[in-house]
Chain A
């Protein structure tokens, strides 16, 4: 940590926010402590400082005060810099506290904490802004940036996890509209294929992360599961070079990709009384069949999948028909003995 650097950056922010006109690099050097006298060294340092300020989200603008100026200057417009007025009611602040904890141990946790701190700094959490001091029970999780009495009460505890290393770079790519390349391993394959994707969005569907977009390699719309991305994700184009089609619905793309086929076949099963709850949940009829067995009619979608499911019940479920389902279950069970 360099105290002098922090001080210099802060001085630049204060200086440019107070100035209505663009200030040239030379004017900034004259006003701010800590820049070297030697020009090239100053230029290099100033470039790094500008990058740093922009990375923090400070809207550093470049422009000319009049068309006859020889070199551009810099300014920060107050309305672009300042967080607009925002004030939350007590119940809203409590909800925000719960939301801020969603990413607790995940990729955007730091961003959530940073946002909360800015909102608190603005005095936005209104009615619940009170001095801390009251102790929470030990072990209770802490929402960064919230006073003790703003800590969400028990009731609901939502969490998102981002264990997949691809999440971070893909979020950045989606945010900045940049194409990416990565290696992808399809399920059940050990060889990865290289893909170049224009990402349209990331979706968490049933607890798993997916990215959807235009696959340049296949020239088609594709969905990839983040856990099947192998190795690093690299940006392969500049910011803003991806156009998301206005009718793209990434949520629907992912949903359709993982869709359950319709249950349009019927099977008749014998299910041991008091067993086979999973099968019975989808039964269209259940009748007693004697000797401690029930006769159960069910709808199913797909023979191989359903045969595996029925085999998992072992000797609690037996297929009466159709014959192809019956044969598939028998061969699955024989496979276990093979």
Chain B
């Protein structure tokens, strides 16, 4: 598994199984969903004049058999009055689809407010990433024009990424990515209160949960690492080509950037009402309400140094229930700090 610098202080990424079903998998389809598909299928073929069955099936995420069922259904549509006639004529002989008569449904249906907004909100988010070219603005303008009134609701959703101190670094990283160059960076890890220096071969720029990360092959750790850009203290693009080894496995951003692993230490905390936000901020395995706003939170972490710092910060607000050794270490930390004031 790939993980970022075990900074600990990373927000959870909870990718649920929502959204579009994987292509090719049979599933229950309502008649409305199928109608939506049919109304796109006819123009899809019309705009291409002739198109292969296999290619079309893949584009619509259905099997060839399902596609043939769809084509038959469209072909069979018959209006009884005033004179009986079949408005749509098509064939799919030899694995190639041709629509010779599409009547009124030769063009796709307009975008709905949800459809237009999904793309426009995402595009505007992309436009906020430093170093993004002019293409984003052009797509936004074209899409707004095509969506018409359906685009209006998208203005009601807005996305703000990153505190501004990561912006300059983001532009540098994008340049390094575009030119395939190695970078040298100094990176601050609050959970350990340390700054480290390393050479990194950039792989991607990730924008997840409002934060921008450089994903790259770290030559010091010899592994894939994530660096939160607002914690990069300084960065130089080196005059050395980036060499990302074949074994470098990109992080699956949809599975969460910081997944706990079984080898991580299990930490159980009791949080006062004032410190209860801690359970919201860090990925917890479980959270139990104890009444009066108090919580019990269980989490897993590869590095407990950030827990020590977090508990010192909250004083009585956080109590480490287990492991006992960690609780003892934190008491020793506090005692050592207090001794400075004697």
Question: Contact residues of A with B, CB < 8 Å?
Answer: 1-3, 5-7, 9-11, 13-15, 17-18, 27, 30-33, 52, 55-59, 78, 80-89, 91-92, 94-96, 98-100, 102-124, 129, 131-133, 139, 141-142, 144-145, 147, 154-163, 171, 174-175, 187-190, 200-208, 227, 244, 250-251, 254-255, 270, 275-278, 281, 308-309, 311-316, 318, 326, 330-338
Contact = CB atoms under 8 A, between A and B. Distances in A.
Nearest to B139: A92
A27 B233 CA distance: 72
Contacts of A205: 160, 210
Nearest to B112: A57
Contacts of B14: 161, 163
23 contacts: A13-B104, A14-B77, A14-B87, A14-B103, A14-B104, A17-B103, A86-B142, A88-B139, A103-B118, A105-B17, A106-B19, A108-B114, A118-B115, A155-B174, A155-B178, A156-B206, A174-B157, A202-B157, A206-B160, A207-B11, A311-B312, A318-B340, A330-B338
Given A114-B36, A313-B312, 20 more contacts: A3-B31, A52-B35, A56-B32, A88-B139, A98-B126, A99-B126, A102-B125, A116-B119, A122-B108, A154-B204, A158-B122, A171-B157, A203-B160, A204-B157, A204-B159, A207-B211, A251-B160, A270-B340, A308-B313, A336-B312
B32 A52 contact: yes
Contacts of B313: 308-309, 311-312, 332
A144 B61 contact: yes
Q: Identify the 6 closest CB pairs spanning chains A and B, nearest first.
A: A109-B19, A335-B315, A207-B210, A207-B209, A123-B47, A17-B104
Contacts of B55: 131-133
B41 interface: yes
Contacts, number: 414
Given A1-B29, A14-B105, A207-B211, A314 B253 contact: no
Interface residues of B, number: 140
B221 interface: no
B333 A314 contact: yes
A31 to B, nearest CB: 4
B32 A15 contact: no
B207 to A, nearest CB: 4
B108 A99 contact: no
Contacts of A160: 121-122, 125, 159
B336 interface: yes
Interface of B: 11, 13-20, 23, 28-32, 34-41, 43-44, 47-48, 52, 55, 58-61, 73-74, 76-82, 87-88, 103-105, 107-119, 121-123, 125-126, 129, 132-133, 135-136, 138-139, 142-143, 145-146, 148, 150, 153, 155-160, 163, 174, 177-178, 188, 190, 193-195, 203-211, 233, 249-250, 252-254, 272-274, 276-277, 280, 289, 291-293, 308-317, 330-331, 333-341
A145 B79 contact: no
A73 B82 CA distance: 16
Contacts of B291: 190
A121 B193 contact: no
Contact of B118 (A33, A108, A335): A108
Nearest to B16: A105
Contact of B341 (A18, A120, A330): A330
B210 A336 contact: no
A118 B110 CA distance: 8
Contacts of B123: 95-96, 99
B309 A312 contact: yes
Given A121-B43, A175-B117, A147 B316 contact: no
A33 B188 contact: no
A92 B138 CA distance: 7
A1 B158 contact: no
Contact of B177 (A6, A118, A155): A155
Contacts of A100: 119, 122
Contacts of A59: 110
Question: Chain A CB within 10 Å — which of B29, B37, B153, B163 has the most?
Answer: B153
A201 to B, nearest CB: 4
Given A32-B80, A122-B108, A276-B193, A142 B88 contact: no
Contacts of B52: 131
B332 to A, nearest CB: 9
Question: Chain A CB within 10 Å — which of B87, B111, B188 has the most?
Answer: B111
Nearest to B84: A31
Contact of A277 (B108, B158, B195, B205): B195
B341 A175 contact: no
A326 B337 contact: no
Contacts of A98: 126
A190 to B, nearest CB: 5
A141 B251 CA distance: 11
B118 A115 contact: yes
A201 B158 contact: yes
